[in-house]
Chains A and B, each alone.
Chain A
Amino acid sequence: MKRSYLGEFEEIVLLTVAVLELQGQAYGVAITHEIIEQTGRSVRLNQIHAALDRLEEKGMVKSEMGEPTAERGGRRKRLFTVTAYGRRTLQEIQEVRVSFWSRLLNPLNLTIIGG
């Protein structure tokens, strides 16, 4: 199965979008703060924007303009949501990892014993 390559940073951004979109807060500044808070990395706004642009190009997120707020000087936010394709990609990555982790925790291949 051919799948688009997703970098580690992109994966984190995509995950953050998936989490924040539940509260309708998946936009540049919020995503940046969330990543800084959760990972402790120092991330810049423009990096997040670039990643989001790439994700949108790959079709994993889509965006629409939200409501303007005062602290933005009356400008609108660009709100992102994860597309179905994005979600499936995240799941597939997760499955691959789970499968590897299960082998790591069970090196004697207990499936044979259990079988």
Chain B
Amino acid sequence: MPNTPPQLPDRLLRFFLPDDQLEEVLGDLHEEYRWQVNRVGKRQARWQYWLNTIGFLKPWVVRRTINKYPTPTNTTMLRNYFKIAFRNLAQSKGYSALTIFGLALGLAVSLLSILYVTDELSYDRYNEKADRIYRINSDISFSLKGIQTARSPTPMGQTLKRDFPEVEEATRLGKYGSHLVKSDHTIIRENGVLYADSTVFDVFTLPMLAGNPKKALTEPQSVVLTEHTAKKYFGTTDALNRVLVFDDNDIRRVTGIIEDIPAQSHVQADFLLPLHETNDAKVNKWGNHIFSTYVVLRPGTKPELVNAKFEHILQTYVDPALRRYFNTSLAETRKAGNYFNYSLLPLTDIHLHSDRDGELSPNNSIEYVYLFLVIALFILLIAVFNFINLTTARSAKRAREVGVRKVAGSTRAELILQFLSESLLTTFFALLVGIGLVYFLLPIFNRLSAKNLAFNQLIETPSIFYLLVGAGSVGILAGLYPALYLSSFKPITVLKGKLWVMPGRHNLRNYLVVFQFSLSVLLIIGTLLINQQMQYIQNKKLGFNKEQVVVINTAQSTEQEVITFKQEVLRSPAIKTGTVSGFLPVASNRWNDMWYPENTTDQKQSVGMQEWQVDPDYIATLGMQLLKGRNFIAGRLADKQAVIINESAAKRFGYQNPVGKSIHLTGGEQLTIIGVVKDFHYESLRNTIEPVGLVVDAGVLGGHSELYLSDVSFRLNTADVASALATIEKTWKQIAPDRPFAYSFLSDDFDAMYRAEQRTEQLFMAFAAIAILIACLGLFGLSAFAAEQRQKEIGVRKVLGASIPAIVALLSKDFLKPVLIAIVIASPIAWWATHTWLQDFAYKVDIAWWVFALAGILSIGIALLTVSFQSIKAALMNPVKSLRSE
């Protein structure tokens, strides 16, 4: 087209010239171009066009336009909002500090809980096949004693894999207590010894650093170590083919080194030993529930499909086993009211949803995680309410600004945006402080929650994004109501100079204070009651005396060694009595069997009873009480066929006078009951006391003398525990010079059973303290503000003769009402919550009324203390100052 000027100069001009000049200049240039085209031709005209364009592109043209015509955008106003927000924060430093610190505490608690919950939810997910791995759970009732266990019959896994194509792989894991492990220069008693099938590497993701995963556990006398363990024993991870000795005579060669198992795993081990070499695996009976079985299903297989097939397994394999070993059939034993239920539990549900007999490691419960989240949410809410309260309370200060902005043409939406950006700014400051608090609180929190959470997780790229989004939503949540409230002021009212009147008593601010203190009271009552229950457990008559008893671990020792050791130690006057027994009324060995009353083999009359092998000094050493009959007599052969039962067992057998009656196992010898011991608690007080029978020779029952010999307990007769321990250690070193001396106090072992509850108590206490602290920060701010507002009123009252106590009472009264209402609201909720918690315990305290009274008095006291600081300050002020200030 002959008449169009070149494009590039136009583009340059569009970029450099201000918009208002562009039209005129371009128009002139185009007109000139056409004129020149007609006059001197296109070529010349284009040349002219370029020259003209360059003429317009002078630096001063460009520079001048910026100053002359600013282009306001949204960010300009936003910048202004943040500037004003910052000035406001800086102007009232006290209030800003209160709000920011309160929010920061709330955010810090939330961050901690998020770290905790993420950690809890990530259990076992490191496994690549995590969504296809299942554990087989067993719910069995045989002889009318139901058990729910994480273990399943020994042949189950391989049978499933062989019979059902849906099952891709199966593996078993099992533990046999602690082992003595010896290398060239160390000998240590190890608890982390796990027996595993060679398929364990096909099921779980356990990357092998050295060795062949296919063969590592198939070779005879092999052991696989974790990296950490290899370093511990050999000082290097290059430990293939080196030798470790287990329990004195079991010599094993290292065939593999795996990476350390992540902490977020319910399977924890330092050593993996081949499971197929154990006797239990060789016996391979359907009735033996000794190992946990894990299966991998093929992709897309529903677990229900496999669950439905367990009936087939029962008919094909369990029924013949029952006929062969128990002289009964599946149908018969079912008719007697028994059942065998097997089911698959997803691997990722084990940590939070499973609390069964025989778990590989103690699990957490999902309720605990929820409780934790709810409390963190409560605390965050309390902090957010603080923000709302303090911002709206100070609205009078901002009222004039709102008026002026509205008169100057600001719309309500713009004002809302302004106040929201203010709360966002505050929240981000709080977030920074909160992250700092987390940094300092994390070690304490880790100790309280028995975790190993890392601060670094918080400052990785994705989590920073979530943090900002999270803090942003908290900021909007906290700022929305104040923004709506402040932006609603009528300019005419506030600009007329009319003092902003505090709205009526039943305003939102009071409701929020009520809510804050309700939550605080709830937490106080929770803490008090958990504390009471813990005291109750610790001081309950346990049926035995846990004080002054020291337990020495003598596992893997011969009977001769153990008995010599006991006799040698008893020579010392500091030791009162001693007993050999691996069965103790704390977490310890257990052995269960079905017992039948005299002359019957009827399953319906059988009693599930534990049998503990003890020696004649057992009852005296543990401070138990014999109610009827007599104790065992040392060396009396007839007592090998004797049994002492506890009260629960006597009740279950239905014997009014059990002494002299006899009981027996299926096809076993008749044992005569020679005594009844008073019921003693041997499991957590969450459970009721179950029947226990004490025998001196388990040989007649099928034998498990290695369990019997695994501990020796001594009752001390001295205050000098240290020297008594030294004596015992010296004796031990003489008898077993190459074994470590491992001891514990019975009372500590007892406490260990309640560690979870103690943790709950401590966490509750910490959270309750933080909740109250934040609520008080808010109350402090509100009372300071009220005192400031009523300065003149106080001045007038003082001039007219009001006393200081009267004024303090006047100022404090307003704040006590919401706290009182909070107590009334929180008490029934707290009663219900603690009542529910206590249902878990078979033995529990009664919820006493004074707990609520105490919580009430505590919260009133704290609130009063907080408020009175400001009220007294205001009441002491010289009225001249406040009245002159007009």
Q: Show the binding face of A for B, using Cβ within 8 Å.
A: 27-29, 32-33, 44-47, 49, 65, 68-69, 71-73, 75-78
**Known contacts A28-B25, A49-B24, then 20 further A-B pairs from the complex at CB < 8 Å, ordered by chain A residue:** A27-B28, A28-B28, A29-B28, A32-B32, A45-B52, A46-B58, A49-B25, A49-B28, A65-B23, A65-B24, A71-B34, A72-B26, A72-B28, A72-B31, A73-B30, A75-B23, A75-B27, A75-B30, A76-B23, A76-B27
Tell me whether B425 is interfacial, beta carbon within 8 Å.
no
- Contact (Cβ within 8 A) A71 B24: no
* B29 closest partner in A (C-beta): A45
- Contact (Cβ within 8 A) B52 A46: yes
CB neighbours of A44 from chain B (8 A): 51-52, 55
CB neighbours of A47 from chain B (8 A): 55
- Contact (Cβ within 8 A) A72 B52: no
Taken together as a complex, chains A and B put the C-alpha atoms of A27 and B30 apart, in Å, by 13
Chain B nearest CB, measured from A24 CB (Å): 15
CB neighbours of B28 from chain A (8 A): 27-29, 45, 49, 72, 77
CB neighbours of A71 from chain B (8 A): 30-31, 34
Tell me whether B837 is interfacial, beta carbon within 8 Å.
no
* A32 closest partner in B (C-beta): B32
Taken together as a complex, chains A and B put the C-alpha atoms of A49 and B27 apart, in Å, by 12
The number of residues on chain B lying at the interface, defined by a beta carbon within 8 Å of a beta carbon of chain A, is 17
CB neighbours of B34 from chain A (8 A): 71
Q: Show the binding face of B for A, using Cβ within 8 Å.
A: 23-32, 34-35, 51-52, 55-56, 58
- Contact (Cβ within 8 A) A72 B30: yes
- Name the one of B27, B35, B52, B58 contacting A33, with C-beta atoms under 8 angstroms: B35
- Contact (Cβ within 8 A) A77 B52: no
- Name the one of B24, B55, B58 contacting A28, with C-beta atoms under 8 angstroms: B24
- Contact (Cβ within 8 A) A73 B55: no
- Contact (Cβ within 8 A) B24 A46: no
- Contact (Cβ within 8 A) A73 B51: no
> Counting chain B CB atoms within 10 Å of each CB, which of A44, A68, A72 scores highest?
A72
Given A29-B31, A73-B30, CB of A45 within 8 Å of CB of B55:
yes
Taken together as a complex, chains A and B put the C-alpha atoms of A40 and B32 apart, in Å, by 17
CB neighbours of A75 from chain B (8 A): 23-24, 26-27, 30
- Contact (Cβ within 8 A) B56 A46: yes
- Contact (Cβ within 8 A) B24 A78: yes
* B24 closest partner in A (C-beta): A78
* B51 closest partner in A (C-beta): A44
- Contact (Cβ within 8 A) B32 A45: yes
CB neighbours of A65 from chain B (8 A): 23-24
CB neighbours of B23 from chain A (8 A): 65, 75-76
Taken together as a complex, chains A and B put the C-alpha atoms of A75 and B51 apart, in Å, by 21
Chain B nearest CB, measured from A58 CB (Å): 15
CB neighbours of A28 from chain B (8 A): 24-25, 27-28
* B57 closest partner in A (C-beta): A46
Chain A nearest CB, measured from B555 CB (Å): 99
CB neighbours of A49 from chain B (8 A): 24-25, 28, 56
Taken together as a complex, chains A and B put the C-alpha atoms of A77 and B32 apart, in Å, by 12
24 A-B residue pairings within 8 Å (CB atoms): A27-B24, A28-B25, A33-B35, A44-B51, A44-B52, A45-B55, A45-B56, A46-B55, A47-B55, A49-B24, A49-B28, A65-B23, A71-B34, A72-B26, A72-B27, A72-B31, A73-B26, A75-B24, A75-B26, A76-B23, A76-B24, A76-B27, A77-B28, A78-B24
Taken together as a complex, chains A and B put the C-alpha atoms of A46 and B28 apart, in Å, by 10
CB neighbours of A76 from chain B (8 A): 23-24, 27
CB neighbours of B52 from chain A (8 A): 44-46
Taken together as a complex, chains A and B put the C-alpha atoms of A32 and B52 apart, in Å, by 12
Taken together as a complex, chains A and B put the C-alpha atoms of A73 and B22 apart, in Å, by 13
Chain B nearest CB, measured from A76 CB (Å): 6
CB neighbours of B24 from chain A (8 A): 27-28, 49, 65, 75-78
Taken together as a complex, chains A and B put the C-alpha atoms of A46 and B31 apart, in Å, by 14
Chain B nearest CB, measured from A63 CB (Å): 9
